[in-house]
Amino acid sequence: MPKVKKKRVGFTIDMTPLVDITFLLLTFFMFTAKFKSDAESQQKFTIQRPKVTPDTTTIPQNDLAVIKVAIDSVTLDTNYYYELSNETDREKVWNSIEGLNEEQRSSPQLKVSVEVLNQLVQNTRLVRANTKFAIDADRRLRFKWIDDAMNILRKNKATVFNFVTEKEGM
């Protein structure tokens, strides 16, 4: 005898548990989401950070000044970049540097020479003395680049700073 196919008109699944879980995940991701900074989305380089053993220290979030030393992905030359997270401070510091064009003035990150970097660090210290400094450099670079940056920090009496690193095995 052939099976009689049961009619399934108006068949519905209870979606409540699905919605529960989805909302839970959605809320979680919404609260943890941190968007890329303007500087990061504009830059034309990626920094391969030096690898160290995993640790819990993370980069400070407020009043942070980052000296980036990176290899340009197109031209392959090395440059210093300076990023300041605090917007009001940034405006003051950027204004104290001569010879910036309009576009550079509004950008959160500047491509700089060693001399200008020194000036920037100095002015940052003047504007806010407790600004935290970090050096974010590519692991393939010669130590010379980092040594020069460290000397600038030393000259400006910022003797405690951070090296941005990456967890080993990532």
- The binding site for other proteins (CB under 8 A) comprises 12, 15-16, 18-19, 22-23, 25-26, 29-30, 32-36, 49-55, 57-59, 61, 134, 136-147, 150, 153-155, 157, 159-167
Cα(32)–Cα(142) distance, rounded to whole angstroms?
36
Q: Cβ closer to other proteins: 55 or 102? A: 55
What's the closest the beta carbon of residue 69 comes to other proteins, in angstroms?
A: 8
Residue 107 CB, shortest distance to other proteins, in Å, is 21
For residue 5, the one-letter residue type is K
User: CB 23 → other proteins: shortest distance, Å?
Assistant: 6
Query: Is the Cβ of residue 91 or residue 148 nearer to other proteins in the bound state?
Result: 148
What amino acid occupies position 153?
Answer: L
- By beta-carbon proximity to other proteins, the closer residue of 19 and 95 is 19
Q: What are the backbone angles phi and psi of residue 54, rounded to the nearest 5°?
A: -55, 145
Residue 3: DSSP 8-state: P
CB of 82 to other proteins, least distance (A): 17
Of 85, 144, 151, whose CA–CA distance to 115 is shortest?
151
Please give the helix or strand (H or E) that residue 89 lies within, else none: helix 87-95
82 φ, ψ (degrees, to nearest 5): -125, 125
Q: Which is nearer to other proteins, 19 or 106 (CB)?
A: 19
- d(CA 62, CA 81) in angstroms, rounded, equals 19
The alpha-carbon radius of gyration of the chain (Å, integer) is 24
Could you tell me the smallest distance in angstroms from the CB atom of residue 110 to other proteins?
20
> Based on CB atoms, which residue is closest to other proteins, 100 or 141?
141
